[in-house]
């Protein structure tokens, strides 16, 4: 239903349904250098946050649940901290840091800088999802690998990661979707050349229908990725 509500206005022409007119709108989106750049920036932001985030959340979850390191409980508590900070506060904080840390101004307006607060904001979601998969795998499986003579790294690579593959894919997809919708957390960190689809839509995108078209395309990409991720989870679950 939400997708239908978004899609319906994109096929309206003077109040009546026109399929060909709607198709031309979707094709015309990629004729604009502004919207094309916005989609490119969105994909770069979401892919970088999802990939780095999945690795980071795996390490954090392993340290919290599988080790006896001092401070592992504090790590679990601190992973909830971004919930208490609104996204726009993080954005203002990073903007302030840019102008106070020497040399940091060079990062202003880059996708790399925008990815950092987006990743921080996604920590609670990513950690909860990763922990849910980690606790389902018995620690005895790793201990059996170590008893068989495998090193710690080999045990993680050949035992834990294959069993965690469905969870890793799910976390990657969740964080990717989180990156595509990031708006407030990067509100003060972008320049016109680094605007994302969400920022462009929040500014009106030039027209309501253009914003709806970009929203439908973004949601469609998310649906395709979700279907592919579901198939990969089933394949890897069957193989493990």
Mean pLDDT, residues 174-199 taken together: 89
From 122, 126, 133, select the one nearest 162 (Cα to Cα): 133
Distance of alpha carbon 209 from alpha carbon 29, whole angstroms? 11
**226 and 173 in contact (C-beta within 8 Å)?**
yes
Record the pTM: 0.83
In tens, the pLDDT along 5-64 reads 777 777 777 777 777 877 887 777 777 788 889 889 999 999 999 999 999 999 999 998
In this structure, of 41-55, 118-132, 221-235, the range with the lowest mean pLDDT score is 221-235
Distance of alpha carbon 200 from alpha carbon 89, whole angstroms? 20
């Amino acid at each position: 239903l939400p997708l239908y509500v978004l899609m319906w206005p994109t096929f309206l022409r003077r109040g009546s349904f026109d399929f060909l007119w709607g198709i031309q709108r979707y094709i015309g989106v990629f004729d604009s250098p502004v919207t094309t750049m916005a989609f490119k920036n969105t994909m770069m932001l979401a892919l970088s946050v999802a990939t780095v985030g999945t690795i980071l959340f795996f390490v954090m979850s392993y340290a919290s649940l599988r080790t006896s390191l001092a401070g592992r409980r504090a790590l679990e508590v601190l992973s909830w901290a971004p919930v208490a900070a609104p996204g726009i506060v993080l954005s203002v904080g990073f903007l302030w840091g840019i102008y106070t840390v020497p040399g940091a101004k060079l990062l202003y307006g880059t996708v790399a800088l925008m990815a950092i607060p987006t990743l921080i904001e996604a920590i609670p979601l990513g950690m909860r999802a990763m922990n849910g998969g980690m606790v389902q795998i018995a620690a005895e499986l790793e201990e059996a690998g170590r008893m068989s003579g495998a090193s710690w790294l080999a045990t993680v690579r050949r035992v834990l990661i294959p069993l965690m593959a469905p969870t890793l894919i799910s976390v990657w997809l969740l964080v990717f979707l989180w990156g595509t919708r990031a708006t407030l957390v990067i509100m003060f960190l972008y320049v016109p050349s680094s605007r994302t689809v969400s920022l462009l839509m929040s500014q009106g995108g030039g027209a309501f229908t253009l914003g709806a078209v970009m929203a439908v395309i973004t949601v469609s990409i998310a649906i395709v990725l979700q279907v592919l991720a579901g198939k990969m989870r089933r394949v890897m679950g069957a193989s493990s």
